[in-house]
Amino acid sequence: MKVLVTGSNGFIGKHMCALLTKKGHEVLPYDISSTEEQLIDYVKQCDFVVHLAGINRPMKVEEFYDGNSFFTKKLVDLLIKNKKFTPLIISSSIQAALDNDYGKSKKMAEDFLFNSGLPVYVYRLANVFGKWCRPNYNSAAATFCYNIAHDLPIEIRDRNYVVHYNYVTDIVEEFLRVIELKDHPGSKEINYVNPTYDCSLGRLADLLNYFKNEIESDRHLPLIHDDFELKLFKTFCDYLSDEGYKFNYAADQRGSFEELYKSKKYGQISENISFPDITKGGHYHTYKKEIFYTVIGNCAIKQRNIKNNDLIENVVTGENPNPINIIPYYTHSIKNIGKTNSHTIMWISEIYDDRTPDTFKEDL
């Protein structure tokens, strides 16, 4: 499917384009540097539109309406002029319910779409957090992550002020779900991305400081108590990653493995996602230390001493977290014994280097 993504170089846009490409769709990227001719050409080609372009920090109030309202009408007019009754998703904002210029410009864009006759899906997003979000712009979460990661001060006017959050991966996965529906009738209702998380500015700062302190401690991994903390931790790790390393991601029929953070001083943190009944591992290290910490799901972690065959078995669950130390010279594996995907945060004492992997295959 050919998907036109407006705002393709923005925070959500980058995630959307990456996910679409990974899933085999062709992305038609449109951003502020694109030309009018490109937009017209993409409108003629596209099978679906994900409209993410907009203005939230203008120099003048009028730019709210130019970038949010009137550009949306322009996009609608181009689709209709070219007889393209293409389904369209728009990222609106929960501020569309408020009486400010940003909110009013978003509400106007929603109304243009609802009155267009096109099959549209309007999503009002909360404050969006996740990796690649620009700090010191319009996201307290991104600013706090960056400043705390770099030992810079943060300013909190009201520690009790509660912010509503959506995680960027949840957003693009919801949009992809809609894109890949067999039929696209559209919706006259306002849609929301679930889950939405509520977090006070004080708790946000406390969590990020805790993550930083734990990474720098002998424990290296913080205790994660819920889904929001896991997503925030993954986000925070992205702002620590300023050493020029390449971060790898791999997915197959067993699940996925993503590197989150690398440091010559503190080692490497990764996230392993396993599908139900999947076993990974079957190797040992001679000197590297590891910690496995299952934060979602249920896993069985086995370790066998390659010298005397002593066996250590641990059953771990995200509901009752228990970090497991992986011992050198013990071949080890982790199996998802639950009915849903398991998420395990893994710390290893040094960055993986394929020239000195210290990883030796041996089944349990």
The candidate with the shortest Cα–Cα distance to 110, out of 80, 63, 64, 72, is: 72
| 262: enclosing H helix or E strand | strand 255-263
Q: Please confirm, yes or no, whether 102 is among the known catalytic residues.
A: yes
Polymer length in residues for the chain:
364
In DSSP notation, 198-257 reads: EEEHHHHHHHHHHHHHHHHSSS-S----SHHHHHHHHHHHHHH--S-----EEEETTEEE
295's enclosing H/E stretch is strand 290-296
Of the residues 30, 42, 102, 146, only one is catalytic, namely: 102
Amino acid at site 135? P
How far is Cα 274 from Cα 184, in angstroms, rounded to an integer?
A: 32
Reduce the secondary structure of 52-77 to three states and give it as a string: CCCCCCCCCCHHHHHHHHHHHHHHHH
- What's the gap between Cα 40 and its chain centre? 31
Active site residues: 102
